[in-house]
Amino acid sequence: MAATSATNPAVDEGILESVAPPARAPIPGSLVDWWKPGTPQSGAFDNFASDVEGSELNQRGWVLQERALSHRTIHFASTQTYWECGHGIRCESFAKLKNQTTQGLSDSHFPRVAVGKFDENQIYLIHWLFEKYSRCGLSNPTDRSVAIQGLEQRLGERLLSGWRYGVLGRFFHRCLIWQPRGGKKVKRIDPNIPSWSWMAYTGEIT
């Protein structure tokens, strides 16, 4: 369960607040005025990108790992509740959504979506995951190499590769060609991490 609607950890604001029911929206070409279970369409009230992906909670580093390693997640957003698993995303409006961009995080057996695929697909997942993680916030900057360790280990086990500090041995050279996003200067935050690893520095990477 994810308290996706939470915005201030210092305030006991709760996550099960009352919300207005979703507005009704007609299905194109149909006389039915409500979404049928399994229909691919969704109305403006089914905004997973804004309600969940854009929520403050999902901008945190530790949360990214927890979400990816969970078999399924219930997101208590401010507008409605979403169910996320390997088969997609279900909304209170009965709409079923597919999140192509972040389907790796919805994978019930992460990273099954990449296992058995071409190397380029696996590299894409690794780069996308590390880039997304580098944009997340951490209360303690030195947790940068720790808050994603579980994901690294899972990637290494499933892709049959050694791993360390954001580098998988199977894709050693590709993992080393990271750079600060936008050419911004970075600050060394942990002298115990090798200088070739992006985990030793602050800031977003690409």
Same domain, 6 and 104: yes
Task: Write the DSSP assignment of 61-97 as a string of letters.
Answer: HHHHHHHHHSS-EEEE-SS-EEEEETTEEE-TTS-EE
Give the domain extent around 194: 119-200
Q: Rounded to an integer, what distance in angstroms lies between the CA atom of residue 158 and that of residue 178?
A: 23
| Domain-terminating residue out of 52, 87, 110 | 110
- Check residue 152 and give its pLDDT: 95
Same domain, 9 and 61: yes
Same domain, 148 and 196: yes
Same domain, 47 and 124: no
The count of domains in the chain is 2
Residue 147 lies in a domain: yes
Same domain, 56 and 145: no
**Is the model's pTM score more than 0.85?**
no
Q: Is 139 exposed, middle or buried (0-12, 13-18, 19+ CB in 10 A)?
A: exposed
Same domain, 13 and 88: yes
- Check residue 204 and give its pLDDT: 96
What is the pLDDT tens value at each position of the chain, 206 positions in all? 777 776 665 555 555 566 665 554 444 443 333 334 444 444 557 888 889 999 999 999 999 999 999 999 999 998 899 999 988 899 988 888 876 667 788 888 898 877 877 788 899 989 999 999 999 999 999 999 999 999 999 999 999 999 999 999 999 999 999 999 998 999 999 999 999 999 999 999 99
Residue 205 lies in a domain: no
Same domain, 102 and 130: no
Rounding to the nearest 10 degrees, give the CA dihedral for residues 64, 65, 67, 69.
160
The token pair at 170 is: 């199977």
| Coil/strand/helix, residue 182 | helix
- Check residue 113 and give its pLDDT: 78
- Check residue 93 and give its pLDDT: 82
Check if the beta carbon of residue 104 is closer than 8 Å to that of residue 122.
no
Residue 88 lies in a domain: yes
Same domain, 133 and 67: no
CA neighbor of 112 nearest in space, from 132, 89, 87, 131 = 87
186: which DSSP letter?
-
Residue 95 lies in a domain: yes
| Domain-terminating residue out of 110, 136, 169 | 110
Residue 177 lies in a domain: yes
| Residue pointed to by tokens 């690409």 | 206
Same domain, 5 and 102: yes
